[in-house]
């Protein structure tokens, strides 16, 4: 092939794309990142980065960004479910951080650019891989040629689609709404991400800036497709229908427009093909209920960065590519498996309020079990380490307290 525009072309410069571009540029690999958005841009996200995600940011040398971007710490999760309240904290006093994606993603891109990555502002409309490189066609009628391609273009990935790796639509899709609110002066900031489990949907409250919280609603399809009115009105009606949250937000003012997105579930047949590899949501996503998508985007970026560095250190033959991307696929599979099982389990529970309430009543009685569950979600413990007895305890749950009249 003639001289490429860059060794690696990354389509999608959100969190995952910016992270891999930064890592590759630091290794002296030439990298171009294509994104269609005008940064800083907002993105529907609960914006709670788990302790493991913070560690990954630290390893990239970007740990300082969380405070530079005005993030707020949280020590665990607090569930409200029809009158039952359970608090679980991260193991060993670890903390997560709520942080506006608008600021974090823009700051990560700036870091990637100062490390030497080229930022290209354009939409990618097609990709093709051949025996010695990749070609990306942009919506400004130009093309970019590289040796390898990274698809980091999020849940509706064009790269995944063009490579024929779409895994088909989810059978029972869920959707999301997200908006920021400034709390009434004097209202306490949440110390934990607060999750209100209501009839068939969940509402998340994440501290993201001084006095500002993000509210994310995860809802079933009929609530989205059957609903009328703009996203702000739909989110407000969900908040009004959840008494503890309505009380929590008395006097709070929205500071932006609600964003809607979905379906949340993304299936992919494989996470690489030829000279292209998928990372972050483009490679697959289960649901936002466990809030680990940003950590997984950073994790998969780090794993794919290693694979690419190995390929480029050799002559980059098809065998080298297959071996390195094959190893990436299995490492990603190991990192993803427990999260996926846990997330599927929680989505199923959320769909059965009787069992959800019993499971949360069990967590309320057993904070140690709650902490272990958070460690599995955070990737610091395996699902197996929970043990059969604890899994059964969760599945069977505990009898919740009787509801007082009018309590929801
Ligand atoms: C409602 C909701 C709540 C969530 N809550 C949390 C949470 O609390 N904690 C957590 O860790 N995770 C959460 N997540 C998940 C998290 O947002 C994602 O997992 C994470 O953003 C994935 O990062 P990414 O880099 O793969 O993709 P993205 O952040 O989506 O970035 C993709 C980028 O690709 C660009 N792009 C797309 N197509 C093209 C194209 N054709 N050409 C050029 N550019 C393109 C886009 O402009 C975008 O910048 C939540 C998700 C949702 C939907």
Q: Which domains are present in the chain?
A: 6-73+94-169+265-340 (3.50.50.60), 174-261 (3.30.9.100), 343-396 (no CATH)
Rg, the chain, Cα only: 21
**What is the model's pLDDT at position 401?**
67
pLDDT category at 1 given cuts 50, 70, 90 is low
Mean pLDDT, range 227-233, rounded to an integer = 81
Which residue has a Cα nearest atom 29 of ligand 1? 14
Mean pLDDT, range 193-208, rounded to an integer = 91
Judged against a pLDDT cut of 90, whether residue 378 lies above it is answered with no
* pLDDT higher at 353 or 117: 117
Judged against a pLDDT cut of 90, whether residue 53 lies above it is answered with yes
Tokens for 373? 């569950």
**What is the model's pLDDT at position 406?**
45
Tokens for 390? 């604890």
- Dist. CA 14 → ligand 1 center (Å): 7
* pLDDT higher at 241 or 139: 139
Backbone angles phi, psi at 122, to 5 degrees: -165, 160
- Dist. CA 166 → ligand 1 center (Å): 17
Least confident interval from 41-50, 104-113, 390-399:
390-399
Question: Which of the listed residues 11, 45, 216, 260 should we mutate to test ligand 1's pocket, taking the one with most ligand atoms within 8 A of CB?
Answer: 45
Percent of the chain whose predicted confidence (pLDDT) is above 90:
73
Q: What residues does ligand 1 touch, defined as CB less than 6 Å away? A: 11-17, 34-37, 43-49, 53, 123-124, 152-154, 158, 176, 178, 216, 261, 264, 280-282, 288, 291-295, 297
Judged against a pLDDT cut of 60, whether residue 404 lies above it is answered with no
- Dist. CA 232 → ligand 1 center (Å): 21
Question: Beta partners for 206?
Answer: 214
Mean pLDDT, range 7-13, rounded to an integer = 98
Tokens for 203? 């509402």
Percent of the chain whose predicted confidence (pLDDT) is above 70:
97
- Dist. CA 272 → ligand 1 center (Å): 19
Question: Which of the listed residues 10, 11, 12 should we mutate to test ligand 1's pocket, taking the one with most ligand atoms within 8 A of CB?
Answer: 12
- 138 conformational bin, left if phi > 0, alpha if psi -120 to 50, beta if neither: beta
Q: Under a CB-based contact definition with an 8 Å cutoff, are residues 201 and 217 in contact?
A: yes
- Dist. CA 391 → ligand 1 center (Å): 31
Least confident interval from 18-22, 104-108, 402-406:
402-406
Judged against a pLDDT cut of 50, whether residue 408 lies above it is answered with no
- Dist. CA 192 → ligand 1 center (Å): 23
What's the pTM value of the predicted model, to 2 decimals?
0.95
Question: Which of the listed residues 19, 23, 46 should we mutate to test ligand 1's pocket, taking the one with most ligand atoms within 8 A of CB?
Answer: 46
Mean pLDDT, range 81-110, rounded to an integer = 95
Tokens for 231? 């996203």
> How far is 96 from 56, CA to CA, in rounded Å?
12
Judged against a pLDDT cut of 50, whether residue 405 lies above it is answered with no
- 229 conformational bin, left if phi > 0, alpha if psi -120 to 50, beta if neither: left
* Mean pLDDT, all residues of the chain: 92
* pLDDT higher at 215 or 230: 215
**What is the model's pLDDT at position 226?**
62
**What is the model's pLDDT at position 227?**
62
Mean pLDDT, range 80-105, rounded to an integer = 94
**What is the model's pLDDT at position 194?**
96
Q: Given the structure tokens 């932006």, which residue do they identify? A: 256
**What is the model's pLDDT at position 284?**
96
């Amino acid at each position: 092939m003639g001289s490429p525009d860059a060794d690696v072309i990354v389509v999608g410069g959100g969190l995952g794309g910016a992270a891999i571009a930064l890592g590759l540029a630091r290794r002296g690999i030439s990298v171009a990142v294509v994104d269609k958005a005008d940064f800083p841009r907002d993105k529907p996200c609960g914006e709670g980065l788990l302790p493991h995600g913070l560690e990954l940011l630290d390893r990239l040398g970007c740990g300082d960004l969380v405070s530079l971007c005005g993030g707020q710490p949280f020590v665990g999760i607090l569930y409200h479910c029809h009158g039952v309240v359970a608090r679980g904290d991260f193991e060993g006093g670890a903390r997560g951080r709520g942080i506006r994606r608008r600021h974090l993603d823009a700051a990560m891109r700036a870091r990637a650019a100062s490390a030497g990555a080229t930022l290209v502002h354009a939409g990618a409309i097609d990709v093709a891989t051949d025996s010695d490189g990749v070609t990306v066609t942009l919506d400004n009628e130009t093309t970019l040629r590289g040796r390898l391609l990274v698809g980091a273009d999020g849940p509706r990935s064009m790269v995944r689609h063009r490579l024929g790796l779409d895994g088909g639509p989810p059978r029972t899709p869920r959707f999301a709404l997200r908006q920021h609110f400034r709390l009434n002066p004097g209202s306490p900031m949440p110390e934990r991400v607060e999750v209100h489990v209501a009839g068939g949907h969940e509402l998340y409250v994440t501290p993201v800036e001084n006095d500002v919280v993000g509210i994310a609603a995860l809802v079933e399809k009929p609530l989205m497709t059957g609903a009328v009115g703009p996203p702000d009105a739909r989110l407000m009606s969900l908040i009004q229908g959840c008494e503890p949250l309505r009380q929590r937000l008395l006097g709070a003012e929205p500071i932006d427009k609600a964003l809607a997105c979905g379906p949340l579930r993304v299936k992919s047949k494989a996470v690489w093909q030829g000279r292209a590899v998928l990372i972050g949501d483009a490679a697959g996503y289960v649901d936002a209920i466990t809030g680990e998508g940003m950590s997984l985007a950073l994790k998969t970026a780090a794993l794919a960065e290693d694979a690419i560095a190995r390929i480029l250190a050799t002559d980059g033959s098809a065998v080298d590519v297959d071996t390195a991307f094959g190893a990436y696929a299995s490492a990603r599979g190991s990192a993803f498996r427990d999260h996926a099982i846990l997330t599927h389990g929680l989505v199923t529970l959320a769909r059965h309020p009787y069992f959800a309430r019993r499971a949360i009543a069990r967590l309320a009685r057993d904070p140690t079990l709650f902490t272990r569950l958070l460690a599995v979600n955070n990737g610091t413990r395996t699902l197996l380490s929970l043990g059969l007895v604890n899994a059964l305890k969760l599945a069977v749950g505990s009898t919740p307290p009787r509801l007082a009249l009018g309590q929801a």
